[in-house]
Structure 1
């Protein structure tokens, strides 16, 4: 078990570093005029690696009260085609900036609930995207599915377009927990969705689990993880529940039933232990994988990467986000789309990129981004001559981590050891210039543990 005093000390609000700098620190020095130029610049330099696409499909038929995603709740499936049409038009705006067909390094469908959309609607969108692109031999196509509505047809149709990875949002199998978070899904539905995916030929199946949910106890979590073990997904994401009721009011409905900090810490520590005993290896930042999964192999060979979807084996430096609230990463800049469906569709109807905020990276940002991504993906970072000597507060903080047994100094940088993995977000914050002044120490992030 980890040192309880260290967990209490470092369980503070911290970024997940799916981007650098984190979104709250974006400078918003971005315009609709320079975004195409930066996209073309990045494509000229990195286009041969391929472009990754993240497509945000926001609709859900019911509200999961724990959820912090951008979503729209409706049972009206007439919304499908207008939204799919907007996605296609947004993709066309990017195609108009290029002289040739782009190469795709991957597609990820997220949400919301992507399987809210019918197989026919998804086919219409994907057929257009793939007909206007070439696909890299190593491309990764994946989607997020709700076990209750991911049909055999969904899996088969998407597999026909090259999708061979699926992530199911499980969260917890306990009925009392499921009622509290309004996410009712029987074990049999998960078993069926998993079996169908394997039968069709999906190579990697991920389960999302959450610790710190209402009514969760060590007993109920152990039972959930035991049930997961009977199905043996290739990957598991074991996330900390982020309680932000001022941002997501639905979370207030179960506030009094949440485990306290000590209980949540025990859920985390025991959950990690049980996953390890089941043969799942700690990839980092809440992600676990069996040895057979490419994510484990990428971790071993230090070829792991990270973007807004989390860990990936794709080296693509360009990520284009399509759909409302989707975020794009052009290596030199970030941009986020309109968050509201209606505003997003209005911009697309006017043939305008639906960007509402962004960040243009300076040279220091680019250097620091590499260091932090190296830490998060590979557990080590080498300083470049441009970043030495370290500012005194940073050097002092790293020395403190070393004295606590969390990292080691090496010839040109630091290496996070096994004990330090739990505190990787805190270590990243220590070297992050955006956190070097008290003015930036605001609780705008979920807690690190």
Structure 2
């Protein structure tokens, strides 16, 4: 079947699979903070030598990017910085108490929101205090997301001094019409300046975020954006599909469905982007991520060491991920936990000395088995069953097999080169929660 027909056939609502079970299928009723703390302590004890991952959510932005699906708080009042940082530090101290000792940290990622909304000095306080109660592993990767329009040389220097070696710049599109519709403004000159300064300081990996399917986007405009980005030679490029979910994110009602490329038009944008990236030497790592073959993400893929967590693809595999801040999600491997989604509720729990966990899921043995298969498909492009592939899984995979997205033998399922564009669709075949209970309302964005 032609690629265009496959794209049309498999362009259905699909989870993004940053976890299994996916968040809408968490069993919150069986979850409690006591059990969560127990799983954190046990996983830390079992995998202490490998180190832990730390995600810190910094939700504040000065203006609303209307396309954005992240948990944000819009304000120009920078007095919010200090109390929020104090709360993050208290939350970290609570987790250190649960762990019972100073842990080794293998990975830190600052996400948001706009982490560079915070002053360089306040970020220095936050990371310095965290590292007083921890030790970085020798191969630690520290990264932060940044807005090209407000990232200063001081941000770059201070964070690099603290050990940050990776930077992710949110660009999305350079087309002025698209920027107006999504209320996200930065020039190629600003991006080039931050990129050059970061490299000069010693950052070893720089990622650009680009999105296809944005309102007002055209083939010509996207081509220009990607070619401009490629000239700056970022080590990685995340080429995401725009997720139109106005029922969850009212800011997306700033434009109408008429402004959004759909169907064949969106498929054409996707194919163009992939072609230009491949032509420029960017390897398809999987699920919207591309990297030069000199980058650690590509090397991890080749060495079958790639991992995926709530932060996306990473070359750092840890069994324990602790999320700090409003809406942050933690993963103890056998359980997930999410913090409150409002700043007020988060700060209230911290002030009362309560670990700010609002909901979560304790994984069953079946969940853990399925999670392994889904991670294998996303990160290694194959998975296997010791006792043979179950009949119901084979039945669900049959259409993908006939469309040559996968190959199957008695025990193993492999992704083909064509199938790499449809990893999320393949993962659906293993998702027992989804098959047991089909959503009655739209929960997920389309796969392409």
1:16-56 per-residue CA deviation (whole Å, 9 max, x = no partner) reads 11111100000112112222111111111112111110000
- Determine helix, strand or coil for the equivalent of 2:429: helix
Residue 335 (structure 1) aligned with residue 337 (structure 2): yes
In structure 1, what is the equivalent of residue 9 of structure 2?
Answer: 9
- Contact preservation (8 Å) 2:40, 2:99: no
- Determine helix, strand or coil for the equivalent of 2:17: coil
Q: CA deviation at 1:391?
A: 3.3
In structure 2, what is the equivalent of residue 154 of structure 1?
Answer: 155
Distance in 1 (alpha carbons) for counterparts of 2:253 and 2:344: 27
* Alignment match of 2:326 (pick from 315, 324, 329): 324
Gaps of 5+ in 1: none
Distance in 2 (alpha carbons) for counterparts of 1:170 and 1:104: 29
* Alignment match of 2:303 (pick from 280, 288, 301): 301
- Contact preservation (8 Å) 2:19, 2:309: yes
> Normalising to structure 1: TM-score of the pair?
0.97
In structure 2, what is the equivalent of residue 206 of structure 1?
Answer: 207
In structure 1, what is the equivalent of residue 84 of structure 2?
Answer: 83
1:229-258 per-residue CA deviation (whole Å, 9 max, x = no partner) reads 110100000000000111111111112311
- Contact preservation (8 Å) 1:435, 1:441: no
Distance in 1 (alpha carbons) for counterparts of 2:345 and 2:2: 47
Distance in 2 (alpha carbons) for counterparts of 1:342 and 1:400: 48
Distance in 2 (alpha carbons) for counterparts of 1:412 and 1:405: 18
- Determine helix, strand or coil for the equivalent of 1:266: helix
In structure 2, what is the equivalent of residue 24 of structure 1?
Answer: 24
Distance in 1 (alpha carbons) for counterparts of 2:44 and 2:414: 33
- Contact preservation (8 Å) 1:2, 1:419: no
Q: How is 1:168-187 mapped onto 2 (pairs within 5 angstroms)?
A: 168-187=169-188
Distance in 2 (alpha carbons) for counterparts of 1:264 and 1:426: 18
* Alignment match of 1:276 (pick from 275, 278, 285): 278
In structure 2, what is the equivalent of residue 292 of structure 1?
Answer: 294
Distance in 1 (alpha carbons) for counterparts of 2:143 and 2:204: 10
Distance in 1 (alpha carbons) for counterparts of 2:437 and 2:350: 40
- Contact preservation (8 Å) 1:147, 1:169: yes
**Deviating 4+ runs (over 4 angstroms):** none
In structure 2, what is the equivalent of residue 396 of structure 1?
Answer: 395
In structure 2, what is the equivalent of residue 126 of structure 1?
Answer: 127
Q: CA deviation at 1:271?
A: 0.7
1:276-329 per-residue CA deviation (whole Å, 9 max, x = no partner) reads 001100000000000110001111111100000100011111000000000000
CA 1:268–1:41 in 2, change beyond 3 Å: closer, same or farther?
Answer: same
In structure 2, what is the equivalent of residue 50 of structure 1?
Answer: 51
* Alignment match of 2:351 (pick from 349, 352, 365): 349
- Contact preservation (8 Å) 2:92, 2:130: yes
- Contact preservation (8 Å) 1:2, 1:269: no
Distance in 1 (alpha carbons) for counterparts of 2:441 and 2:394: 22
Distance in 2 (alpha carbons) for counterparts of 1:99 and 1:288: 39
- Contact preservation (8 Å) 1:434, 1:440: no
In structure 1, what is the equivalent of residue 405 of structure 2?
Answer: 406
Distance in 1 (alpha carbons) for counterparts of 2:100 and 2:59: 31
- Determine helix, strand or coil for the equivalent of 1:334: strand
- Determine helix, strand or coil for the equivalent of 2:408: strand
Q: CA deviation at 1:399?
A: 2.4
Q: CA deviation at 1:345?
A: 0.4
- Contact preservation (8 Å) 2:13, 2:444: yes
Distance in 2 (alpha carbons) for counterparts of 1:280 and 1:356: 40
How many residue pairs match? The answer is 446
CA 1:441–1:39 in 2, change beyond 3 Å: closer, same or farther?
Answer: same
Residue 251 (structure 1) aligned with residue 234 (structure 2): no
Q: CA deviation at 1:96?
A: 1.2
In structure 2, what is the equivalent of residue 61 of structure 1?
Answer: 62
Q: CA deviation at 1:411?
A: 4.8
1:178-234 per-residue CA deviation (whole Å, 9 max, x = no partner) reads 011001111111111111111101000000000001111111010001101110100
CA 1:85–1:438 in 2, change beyond 3 Å: closer, same or farther?
Answer: closer
Distance in 1 (alpha carbons) for counterparts of 2:410 and 2:437: 31
- Determine helix, strand or coil for the equivalent of 1:63: coil
Q: CA deviation at 1:2?
A: 5.1
Q: CA deviation at 1:389?
A: 5.0
